[in-house]
């Protein structure tokens, strides 16, 4: 399992950090077996696994449940879990208590929280308590309503300066890594150069120190919409429909199960039963 120091070294050496989301035993296992550096149990699970329209309805119970499952599949990969909407903003005590539950009950190594300077005190408190924290700025889906929708952030000079300011505040508060979502590549590059901790892009261009994608997006299993920053490396949704359609057709045609998938008895055993 990689360590916080490994991630710093990777940035120094210009070695890209690969993060992928996972939400259960099979996705965790596939991520680990593919050599992914960091598994993120993202609250994107609300959309890609639970079918909600946003990440807002996701609960602590959901995150613990899915972290436990992903952990069973990825025992030896550094695992981060998203703190859900409004589980870390209300008070320092609330943030501490909930982060501790994700680590202790879920079994992850650290947590990710959305926001900039305004959540720096929480980052500091969690880090002081020994919980590694990854930041997340730019398009922060939990606050999509206040951002007036899912769109590229940091496109004005003022907004870009604010992103850099927030990134520096998170680094100063002790964050070990920051996700940069949906911001111009040039802004992500500037931030990545100014920070000594690694940046992980998703819609943040190639200059970030690493990249993250959602498991279901990467494999073409989430088909409701495909954001510009997503590359589907496979179209497993289409393949799954073909396979399941073939299963249904064979059952209806009486072609499945065949002998190879059935059990049988020999003549002697049959005679003992039926005489």
Binding residues: 43-44, 82, 112, 114
Q: Return the range that interacts with Na ion (CB under 5 A); candidates 40-48, 175-183, 203-211, 217-225.
A: 40-48
Sole binder of Na ion in the list 28, 42, 184, 201 (CB under 5 A): 42
Nearest distance in Å: CB 221, ligand KIV: 14
Q: Which residues fall in the annotated binding site for 3-methyl-2-oxobutanoate?
A: 43-44, 82, 112
Sole binder of ligand KIV in the list 22, 27, 38, 44 (CB under 6 A): 44
Sole binder of ligand KIV in the list 10, 21, 108, 180 (CB under 6 A): 21
Binding of ligand KIV at residue 219 (CB under 6 A)? no
Query: Residue 183 binds which one of ligand KIV, Na ion, none, with CB within 5 to 8 A depending on kind?
Result: none
Is 181 an annotated catalytic residue? yes
Contacts of 238 (CB under 8 A, 6+ apart): 220
Q: Return the range that interacts with ligand KIV (CB under 6 A); candidates 38-46, 100-108, 148-156, 184-192.
A: 38-46
Nearest distance in Å: CB 114, Na ion: 7
Binding of Na ion at residue 43 (CB under 5 A)? yes
Sole binder of ligand KIV in the list 108, 188, 195, 202 (CB under 6 A): 202
Binding of ligand KIV at residue 43 (CB under 6 A)? yes
Give the active site residues: 181
List of residues contacting Na ion (CB under 5 A): 42-43, 82
């Amino acid at each position: 399992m990689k360590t916080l120091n490994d991630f710093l070294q990777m940035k120094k050496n210009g070695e890209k950090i690969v993060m992928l989301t996972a939400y259960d035993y099979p996705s965790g296992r596939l991520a680990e077996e593919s050599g992914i550096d960091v598994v993120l149990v993202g609250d994107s699970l609300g959309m890609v696994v639970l079918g909600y329209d946003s990440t807002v309805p996701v609960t602590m119970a959901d995150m613990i449940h899915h972290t436990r499952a992903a952990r069973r599949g990825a025992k030896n990969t550094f695992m981060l879990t998203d703190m859900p909407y409004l589980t870390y903003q209300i008070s320092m005590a609330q943030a501490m208590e909930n982060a501790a539950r994700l680590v202790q009950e879920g079994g992850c190594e650290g947590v990710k929280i959305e926001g900039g300077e305004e959540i720096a005190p929480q980052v500091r408190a969690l880090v002081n308590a020994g919980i590694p924290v990854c930041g997340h700025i730019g398009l922060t889906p939990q606050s999509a309503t206040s951002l007036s929708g899912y769109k590229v952030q940091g496109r004005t000079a003022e907004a870009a300066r604010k992103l850099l300011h927030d990134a520096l505040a998170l680094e100063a508060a002790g964050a070990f890594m920051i996700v940069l979502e949906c911001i111009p590549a040039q802004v992500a590059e500037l931030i990545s150069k100014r920070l000594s901790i690694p940046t992980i892009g998703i819609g943040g261009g190639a200059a970030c120190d690493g990249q993250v994608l959602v498991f279901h997006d990467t494999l073409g299993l989430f088909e409701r919409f495909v954001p510009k920053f997503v590359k589907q490396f496979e179209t497993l949704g289409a393949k799954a429909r073909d396979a399941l359609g073939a299963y249904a057709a064979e059952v209806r045609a009486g072609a499945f199960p065949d002998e190879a998938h059935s059990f049988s008895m020999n003549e002697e055993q049959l005679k003992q039963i039926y005489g």
